[in-house]
Amino acid sequence: MSQSTAPGNDLPDPQHPSHHRTVLLRGGDVHSPADPFATAMVVERGHVAWVGSEGAADAFADGVDEVVDLAGALVTPAFTDAHVHTTATGLALTGLDLTGARSLADALVLVREHAAAHPQDTVLLGHGWDAARWPGGRPPTRAELDEATGGRPLYLSRIDVHSAVVTTALLDLVPGVTDRTGYRPDAPLTGDAHHGVRAAALAAVTPRQRTQAQRAALAHAASLGIGSVHECAGPEISDEDDFTGLLRLAAEEPGPRVVGYWADQDVRRARELGAAGAAGDLFVDGALGSHTACLHEPYADAHGAGTGTAYLDAAAVAAHVVACTEMGLQAGFHAIGDAAVASVVDGIRAAAEKVG
């Protein structure tokens, strides 16, 4: 059920009393292919032992340790989230949320409080300001943010994530940032300058901050009834320490099961890192919004974009599937455009001719 304390955990905690008890849950809507009209279920030693109707549940009621009235609640198997970037999700959850700030002064108070509450974080991260909704309509200046953080690195993305305001201490981490496009001395950073400070901010996240972010993301998943997440990591997306740290955390602490994918053509490395597959965000092409998804026909809405960008062709897809199959790992790809999908299909067909 969705409120399980240890979703995805195969080994019942022997200390936990519920694992020695037989519990009847009734009066709900129990989603099960075994009985589409089930309203009740029996849990025995942490496992579902029976699902069925109220009438049949009466027969169990006297023989169980506990009866729980579901009061019409929906009971389902735990959900699986098949594509997650755990750390990024967690950083958004643990960072400063400015979407509720009603004025510039309000936002600066929140920045000050967040900085004080996170003395050990090397970089402070926040998101969601929208100066257009504030009286006066201006975002915080760098001097105001320097003052509110006591001179610490701070990155605050606007609600649309395409621009950000930062402190002097964060700018100092990006040599040459003042020469980049999108840099203006006292306005939100856009373009190249924005990408530079964003990369510097993420690189400054400490291992402790990262672990807290991962824990927050997994706890949030569990609160939504998600019992298993597929982490789509890779050398171009995250880093090895981030990936192995997450797998270790998931193994040591109760919470959703984490299935790790490492998007690397170096299949051996993926296995060494403990990945279930050299898959996930292994890019055959890019994204439609950036006109880099690979299409059969040229983009009609962007001059010069051509048919997009192909990072892997059918031969490379075939080689990867063969290498994964021989190593007993799952292969998988990121493919958005129709031409990219065709490359994957052709590549898998070619691989099947070799390895069956």
Chain positions contacting Zn ion, by CB under 5 A = 232, 281
Q: Which residues contact 310 (CB under 8 A, 6 or more apart)?
A: 284, 285, 294, 339, 340, 343
Nearest distance in Å: CB 84, Zn ion: 8
Closest separation between CB of residue 263 and Zn ion, Å? Answer: 9
- Quote the least distance from Cβ 336 to Zn ion, whole Å: 11
d(CA 194, CA 336): 26
Residue 91: CB minimum distance to Zn ion, A: 15
- Using the minimum distance from each CB to Zn ion, give the nearer residue, 232 or 270: 232
Please provide the DSSP assignment of 226-259 as one string: EEEEEEEE-TTTS-HHHHHHHHHHHHHSSS-EEE
Of 24 and 232, nearer to Zn ion (C-beta) is: 232
Cβ(333)–Cβ(317) under 8 Å? yes
Give dist(CA 126, CA 88) in Å, integer.
12
User: Which position has the token pair 């880093």?
Assistant: 239
Residues in the chain: 356
Question: Whole-number minimum distance, CB 293 to Zn ion, in Å?
Answer: 14
Nearer to Zn ion, 146 or 281 (CB): 281
**Structure tokens that stand for 78 in this block:** 């735990």
- Give every CB contact of residue 105 below 8 A, 6+ residues apart in sequence: none
C-beta separation of 261 from 230 below 8 A: yes
Question: ∠173-178-181 over CA atoms, to 5°?
Answer: 115
Minimum CB distance to Zn ion smaller for 234 or for 256? 234
Least separation in angstroms between CB 294 and Zn ion = 17
- Of 82 and 352, nearer to Zn ion (C-beta) is 82
Transcribe 47-77 into DSSP letters.
EEEEEE-HHHHHHHHTTSSEEEE-TT-EE-P
Shortest Cβ distance from residue 82 to Zn ion (Å)?
10
Closer CB to Zn ion, residue 40 or residue 213? 213
Nearer to Zn ion, 9 or 330 (CB): 330
Q: In whole angstroms, how close is the CB of 339 to Zn ion at the nearest point?
A: 20
121 or 281: CB nearest Zn ion: 281
> Which pair of tokens denotes residue 19?
């694992």
